[in-house]
Amino acid sequence: MKTLIRNIILLVALMAALGGSNAAAQTLRDANYNYVGKISPNGTVRNSEYGAVGFFNNDGTIANAKGKTVGRIDAKMQIFDKSGDLLGKVNSDGSVFDDDGELLGKIEVKTGKVSDNHGTVLGYANGISIQRVAAYFFFDFFK
């Protein structure tokens, strides 16, 4: 469970760090650079079969495919679960920490590479804000 939460935090962080244009879909890839999904300009998260698996609202809330709120990202780049409990934080340099301040991983802003605290590559996000990348991991949209 802790590994899942770490991966989710890293994903949300990755999405937040890579702030990009909202004019085109933002691509998500796994560690082998295989396409796993995208985030549309309207905030819809789609898997590789183009099925909607989640949604990012403009107010920072994150919803699953059924429209149910699963979490939130605030302006300070803090990530919260649906109960409002703090899960972690994303720093502007792409470092992702859990609620105890433990480093979970890093999102390389220039390349979009997401890695865990041991340097293992978890995936890539092109043109996606750090917060959204971290949310991708935190809320496990594509599993």
Q: What's the confidence (pLDDT) of residue 138? A: 59
What fold does the segment set 2-138 form as a domain? Porin (2.40.160)
Model confidence over 19-68: pLDDT tens digits?
Answer: 443 445 588 888 899 998 888 888 888 888 989 988 888 888 988 888 89
Q: In this structure, are residues 123 and 14 in contact, taking their beta carbons and an 8 Å threshold? A: yes
Q: How far apart are the first and last CA of the chain?
A: 14
pTM for this predicted structure:
0.72
Domain range annotation of the chain: 2-138
Which of helix, strand or coil describes residue 2? helix
Higher-confidence residue of 121 and 138: namely 121
